[in-house]
Structure 1
Amino acid sequence: MERSDRDDAAQRMMACVIGSNVNQDGRSASMTAPNGPSQQMCIKASMSEAGLRPSEITIAECHGTGTALGDPIEVGALRDVMKDRGQDPMIVTSGKSNFGHMEANAGIGGIAKCILMLQGMTGACNLHLYFINPHIEITGYPALFVSEHVDAGVRTGISGVSAFGVGGTNARADLWGRSKLGYLATEEVGMTQKAEERGVAYARVAQHGQPGPGVADRV
């Protein structure tokens, strides 16, 4: 994925898609009921194609259905795949809290958000997140469900994004990107300027430079 208003390949590159997979739930409770094991297989297949270990995922961008059943199953599938990542917390986000449900465009919306997060090495906040669904099991799970923008603490990183179809389609893509400090404007991603302990990790809030060009015009 590249910008067209840059002179060299390094400047044009926005992010690299290094792995992807699509599968289907198969037999489940109903047409719309999610299937955790199928979601796990989809995540693992994408990561395998990319040659990734769980510890290498910096940000997990969830589909985030916002339903009592869908969210626990998605987070549970992600937890089971990522459970061996050690104590280094993974930032967990969902674009639906930022720009709503884009329906058929939800997947590409998640990818666009991941590109922006990777360019700033910043986990975008989950807006209006006050409580975690009590059916989501997060005990012993090194994940950071952020309620404000946080610095990922690295200059290069991986973001995995999931998207689901109403009929049981599961999709996953893994993207690699690097920080472009000074390229994203602070106000473009709505940064705050404080840092505080978030229970499982210290989240350093990103402080970016001057405004740069807008979003890419070529994918």
Structure 2
Amino acid sequence: MEQAYDFEVEAPPEVVRDYLMNPENLMKYVPHFKDLKRVDNGWELYVNWLFTIKLKVKRVFTNTDIIYLVEKSEGLIKIKSSLRFTVFPSKGGIIIIRLVFFYEGPFESIVKGQANVFYKRGKEVFKTEMTKEKRIVIQERQNGEDGEVPIYKMKTIFSGKINKDELEKYLEMAMAKSVNSMVVVILSDERNIVEIKFKGGDLVSQKGEVESLSSPITILIKQ
């Protein structure tokens, strides 16, 4: 079974993409999704629908597509599914996102009906979510006008993947580089995001908890 759905929203492409890249956000659209846990090779998704099951989730992406591969290959109940989000170029500020939902497993006719119900509800949820995300971006840009350069205009001085035990030395480096200008460190383990700002050699703000992160950590340092 394969179903295609289109979402239309007025939002910057990078905002839409960042939102869809976070699997935690997808939990808001299907009430049967009960929990999502990060594991070494992706995530474990716990679903309570007709039966309680644990699914393996992997994410792959290209410049235009974000794909979640969902599978249960052990036990009596076997499921193979995917969610493919394609973000089309903006036309007049309007972004179109196409969702292709594939499902192979038990109760396909019921799943198809449920998918249609969730799509109708999800369109409105998505618009509300994008409105919130846009407000965050606008606020960041307004903050940048008060003598502080917005993050998206800053120069990237380092990016890569590190282990958690390496984090301290990179934070010390960022602190040292902040003596003459603002330095922002963004950290992510694909489940949690932490943003730390240094200025004048001091920590001036922090969003998120470093302890929530697990290896490997993607780090971006901007100045």
TM-score, normalised via structure 1 length: 0.29
User: As a proportion of its length, which structure holds more strand?
Assistant: 2
Higher Cα radius of gyration: 2
